[in-house]
């Protein structure tokens, strides 16, 4: 998900002040940080990020550098484990394309499963709370603007570069049985509403190998508290903890045996 177009006045003022006072500060994607972010100058990161931008097919760069940095770290850690990779909520494939570029995916001998409606939210699954918070209007706006794709064709073309990428079209949980992976090392969840996200993590949790990484795109993101509350409930039931990240993401590890 991206930061809402209409930033509140406080956030906009903070952006302007940070850029004025410290020109080298990191200011984008809802995050202002004076800390070291020289990963942006790393050649391997730059190549991976550029491949992610390529997946946008001419749309403007989302300026997700730190978010992609977290994703590449999670994927680079997970690749040391046994198991396939899964992404639930792909859209144009920004992060997953960056990951596959970074890891030289076809040399890995495993499958990256890419699940999405490729048509925005499945509105049947949107809860009353999410409706009250404008999820349906936001979904329709994102479809109208082209931020959400309205078909799988672009994603299929984008991922044709990799023979071990599997695009699965349709809503979660309906499509989960199509993922035949017995073991999963990396799970990225970014479906922008709670019901399918909980269905996904409950389905894949038994398949996650010890030490597997689960990256939640919207866990701490502004305006998506319903997803956080749902994931917190899952974490309590599973006896684990989720780390909230200033990028808006959440990070969860499958405990070792």
Please write the tens of the pLDDT for every residue from 203-257: 999 999 999 999 999 999 988 999 999 999 999 999 999 999 999 999 999 998 7
CA separation, residue 76 to residues 94, 99, 101, 114 (Å): 16, 8, 11, 18
State the pLDDT at residue 24. 81
Report pTM.
0.92
Report the alpha-carbon distance of residue 194 to residue 192 in Å, rounded. Answer: 7
Q: What is the rounded (10 degree) CA torsion for 91, 95, 101, 103?
A: -130
For residues 187-195, average pLDDT? 97
Q: Tokens for 167?
A: 């695009």
Q: Where are the domains of the chain?
A: 43-253
State the pLDDT at residue 247. 96
Question: Which CATH number among 1.10.10.10, 3.30.950.10, 3.40.50.150, 1.10.3720.10 corresponds to the domain 43-253?
Answer: 3.40.50.150
State the pLDDT at residue 30. 87
- 103 near 75, Cβ under 8 Å? yes
In this model, does residue 1 exceed pLDDT 60?
no
């Amino acid at each position: 998900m991206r930061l809402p177009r209409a930033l509140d006045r406080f956030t906009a003022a903070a952006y302007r002040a940070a850029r004025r006072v410290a020109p080298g500060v990191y200011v984008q994607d809802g995050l202002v940080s004076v800390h070291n972010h020289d990963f942006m100058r790393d050649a391997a990161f730059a190549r991976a990020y550029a491949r992610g931008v390529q997946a946008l097919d001419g749309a403007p760069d989302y300026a997700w550098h730190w978010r992609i940095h977290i994703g590449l770290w999670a994927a680079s850690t997970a690749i040391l484990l046994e198991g396939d990779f899964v992404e639930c909520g792909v859209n144009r494939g920004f992060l997953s394309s960056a990951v596959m570029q970074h890891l030289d995916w076809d040399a890995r001998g495993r499958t990256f499963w890419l699940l999405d409606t490729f048509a925005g939210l499945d509105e049947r699954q949107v809860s009353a709370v999410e409706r009250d918070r404008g999820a349906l209007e936001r979904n329709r706006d994102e479809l109208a603007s082209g931020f959400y794709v309205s078909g799988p064709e672009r994603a299929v073309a984008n991922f044709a570069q990799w023979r071990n990428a599997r695009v699965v079209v349709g809503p979660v949980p309906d499509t989960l049985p199509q993922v035949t992976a017995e073991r999963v090392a990396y799970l990225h969840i970014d479906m922008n509403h709670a019901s399918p996200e909980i269905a996904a993590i409950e389905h894949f949790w038994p398949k996650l190998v010890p030490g597997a990484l689960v990256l939640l795109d919207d866990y701490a993101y502004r305006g998506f508290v319903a997803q956080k509350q749902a994931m917190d409930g899952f974490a309590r039931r599973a006896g684990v903890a989720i780390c909230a990240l200033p990028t808006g993401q959440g990070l969860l590890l499958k405990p070792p045996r």
